[in-house]
Every structure is written in C-alpha cells, then in structure tokens.
Amino acid sequence: MNVSRVDHIGIAVVNLEESLKFYEDILGITCQGTEIVEDQKVKVAFLPVGDTELELLESTTEDGPIAKFIEKNGGRGGIQHVALRVDNIEEAIEEIKSKGYKMIDEKPRYGAGNASIAFCHPKSTHGILLELSERK
C-alpha cells in the first residue's frame, strides 16, 4: 500500500457557511465550491492548505455520521477524520483486511471530488477515524 500524503483533514461543522467564513478569512482564500455527497449524508467544502486540504463537513440529515459526531461532541464540531492518499484503494483495503484490521468499508465508496474512499474502523486505528482516498 503506497500512502503518498495526508489527503485531507475532515472537520465536522454545524454550519458550513459560517465556518467557511472563518477559514477563508484566516487562509485568505475563497472556497471553490461545495459538494453534496448523498452516500455520506454530507455537504462538503475543501480548502487547500499547502499540499493537503481542510474538508469542512456539514450533515445533510439528522442521522448521518457527521450529525452523530456533533451530537456526541456536545453539539460542537471538531476534527472527525484524517484522510490518507493511496494510489490504489482496492489494494489498500485488501492489504489492511489481510493484516486482520477492521474496515468500515470493505469496498470503495464515492468520495467528494470523484475520489474512491474507504474508512478504517476506529477500533483498529486506536481511536482515529481514518479515511483512505484514491484520486483519479
């Protein structure tokens, strides 16, 4: 499995527009657009920071993973996951499973920006929600 970089840091936010204002102000950049990823029940915005990105995530439903994260975090947002860039998501999933670690996703799923993604279970990562992301 070849991990080339931190693809993004996933930050759960209660209100995307509000949070965007802060990050655009301090980073001095303008977000290039948002995307709704139905499968994950999120609306996301990416903000480039050096060779990685901040991914701001707002829940589109009451029961999605981001809504749950915020609920469990006392109604506040926070760092919800870290994503690593891999060159082959299928190989990465197979390698992790073959080593006996737990994947949330055993098959790649659609990720923002047309990435192929899969999440490793926090049980296996000792407490971090780790996303693997292959970009075309």
Ligand X SMILES: C[C@@H](C(=O)O)C(=O)SCCNC(=O)CCNC(=O)[C@H](O)C(C)(C)COP(=O)(O)OP(=O)(O)OC[C@H]1O[C@@H](n2cnc3c(N)ncnc32)[C@H](O)[C@@H]1OP(=O)(O)O
Q: At its nearest, how many Å lie between ligand X and the CB of residue 123?
A: 6
Query: Which has the closest alpha carbon to 51: 22, 87, 21, 9?
Result: 9
> Rounded to an integer, what distance in angstroms lies between the CA atom of residue 91 and that of residue 105?
13
- Residue 29, binding choice from Co ion, ligand X, none, Cβ under 5 to 8 Å by partner class: none
Assess 127 for contact with ligand X (CB under 6 A): yes
Stretch that binds ligand X, among 16-24, 26-34, 90-98, 127-135 (CB under 6 A): 127-135
The radius of gyration computed from the CA coordinates of the chain, to the nearest angstrom, equals 15
> Rounded to an integer, what distance in angstroms lies between the CA atom of residue 93 and that of residue 84?
13
Assess 104 for contact with ligand X (CB under 6 A): yes
**Residues of span 42-61 touching ligand X by CB under 6 A:** 42, 44, 55, 57
